[in-house]
Chains A and B, each alone.
Chain A
Amino acid sequence: MSIERCCGNNKTMSGHFFLIAEKSKLYFTFQDQAEQFFRSGHTNNWAVLVCTSRFWFNYRHVANTLSVYRSVKRLGIPDSHIVLMLADDMACNPRNPKPATVFSHKNMELNVYGDDVEVDYRSYEVTVENFLRVLTGRIPPSTPRSKRLLSDDRSNILIYMTGHGGNGFLKFQDSEEITNVELADAFEQMWQKRRYNELLFIIDTCQGASMYERFYSPNIMALASSQVGEDSLSHQPDLEIGVHLMDRYTFYVLEFLEEIHPASQTNMNDLFQVCPKSLCVSTPGHRTDLFQRDPQNVLITDFFGSVRKVEITTGALALDRDVAALESKFPEEELATEPLKYAEQLPVAQIIHQKPKQKDWHPPGGFILGLWALIIMVFFKTYGIKHMKHVF
Chain B
Amino acid sequence: MSLCSAPRPGRALRQRLSGLARPCPAAHPPAMGLLSDPQCRRALARLLLRLNTPLCVLSYLAGLTWFLLLPALAPRTYLSENAMGSTMVGEGSDLGPRALALARDFGAHKRKVGGMPVEWLEQTMFQLGLEVHRQPFSRTLPFPDEAHERYLVRGTNVFGVLRAPRAASTEALLLLVPGSEGSKNNQAVGLLLALAGYCRGQVYWAKDLIFLVTEHDLLGTQAWLEAYHDVNLTGIHSGGVPGRAGAIQAALALELSSDVLTSVDVAVEGLNGQVPNLDLLTLFHSFCLKSGLLCTFQGKLPPPEGPSGPGYAQSLRTMGLMVLGQAGGGPGGAHGLFLRFRIEALTLRGINSFRQHKFHLGALGRTLEGMFRKLNNLLERLHQSYFLYLLPSLSRFVSIGSYMPALGLLLLVLALRALDLWMRLSRSDEGEGDPPPEEARGGLLWLLPPILVSGGAGAALYLLPVRGQAVATQHFPVGEAEAVVLALIGIYVAGMALPHSTHRALSGGGQRGWMTLKLLALLALALLLTCLALLNFSLGFLLGATLVPPAAAVRPGGSRLPLAVLLVLTTPGLSLFLAVLLERELLEAPAGLGEAWQRFLGALGQGLLQEHLHGAHLSPLLCLGAYPCWLLLWNVLFWK
Interface of A toward B, CB cutoff 8 Å: 55-57, 92-97, 99, 234, 237-240, 242-244
Contact = CB atoms under 8 A, between A and B. Distances in A.
A174 B88 CA distance: 22
B87 A94 contact: no
Interface in B128-167: 164-167
10 contacts: A55-B83, A57-B87, A93-B206, A97-B204, A99-B203, A234-B86, A237-B88, A239-B90, A240-B90, A242-B89
The 10 closest A-B pairs by CB, nearest first: A239-B90, A94-B167, A94-B166, A94-B206, A97-B204, A95-B206, A57-B86, A57-B87, A95-B204, A243-B87
B37 to A, nearest CB: 49
Given A56-B379, A94-B165, A95-B377, 7 more contacts: A55-B379, A57-B86, A94-B206, A95-B376, A238-B88, A243-B87, A244-B86
A244 B202 CA distance: 20
A243 B373 CA distance: 12
Contacts of A93: 206
A130 B437 CA distance: 80
Given A57-B83, A242-B87, A94 B205 contact: yes
B127 interface: no
A87 B629 CA distance: 60
A234 B82 CA distance: 14
B452 to A, nearest CB: 58
Contacts of B377: 56-57, 95, 242
Contact of B164 (A56, A94, A96, A234): A94
Contacts of A55: 82-83, 379
A272 to B, nearest CB: 29
A240 B376 CA distance: 14
Interface string B55-96: 000000000000000000000000000110011111000000
B371 to A, nearest CB: 13
A243 B88 contact: yes
Contacts of A242: 87-90, 204, 373, 377
Nearest to B206: A94
B88 A239 contact: yes
B83 A96 contact: no
B interface, size bucket: 20 to 34
A95 B166 CA distance: 8
B69 to A, nearest CB: 36
B627 to A, nearest CB: 51
A55 B204 CA distance: 15
B425 to A, nearest CB: 58
Interface of B: 82-83, 86-90, 164-167, 202-206, 373, 376-377, 379
Nearest to A56: B377
A31 to B, nearest CB: 54
A96 B204 contact: yes
Contacts of B202: 97
Contacts of B87: 56-57, 242-243
Nearest to B85: A57
Nearest to B164: A94
Contacts of A57: 82-83, 86-87, 377
Contacts of A244: 86
Contacts of A99: 166, 203
A94 B246 CA distance: 15
Contacts of A240: 90
Contacts of B166: 92, 94, 99
A146 B165 CA distance: 33
A163 to B, nearest CB: 14
A238 B90 CA distance: 9
B103 to A, nearest CB: 29
Nearest to A96: B204
Contacts of A238: 88
B201 to A, nearest CB: 11
A93 to B, nearest CB: 7
Nearest to B204: A97
Contacts of A56: 83, 87, 206, 377, 379
Contacts of B88: 237-239, 242-243
A110 B376 CA distance: 26
A56 B87 CA distance: 9
B86 to A, nearest CB: 5
A93 B165 CA distance: 11
Contacts of A239: 88-90
A240 B373 CA distance: 11
A238 B89 CA distance: 8
A80 B236 CA distance: 64
Nearest to B92: A240
Contacts of B83: 55-57
A234 B204 CA distance: 22
Contacts of B82: 55, 57
Indicate the member of A56, A97, A240 with the most B CB atoms within 10 Å.
A56
Contacts of A237: 88
B380 to A, nearest CB: 10
Contacts of B167: 94
Contacts of B205: 94
Nearest to A93: B206
A94 B89 CA distance: 15
Contacts of B204: 94-97, 242
Nearest to A59: B87
Contacts of B164: 94
A92 B166 CA distance: 8
A89 B247 CA distance: 23
A242 B373 CA distance: 9
Contacts of B165: 94
A239 B90 CA distance: 5
A280 B82 CA distance: 22
B205 to A, nearest CB: 7
Nearest to B207: A94
Contacts of A94: 164-167, 204-206
Nearest to B165: A94
A195 B90 CA distance: 49
A38 to B, nearest CB: 49
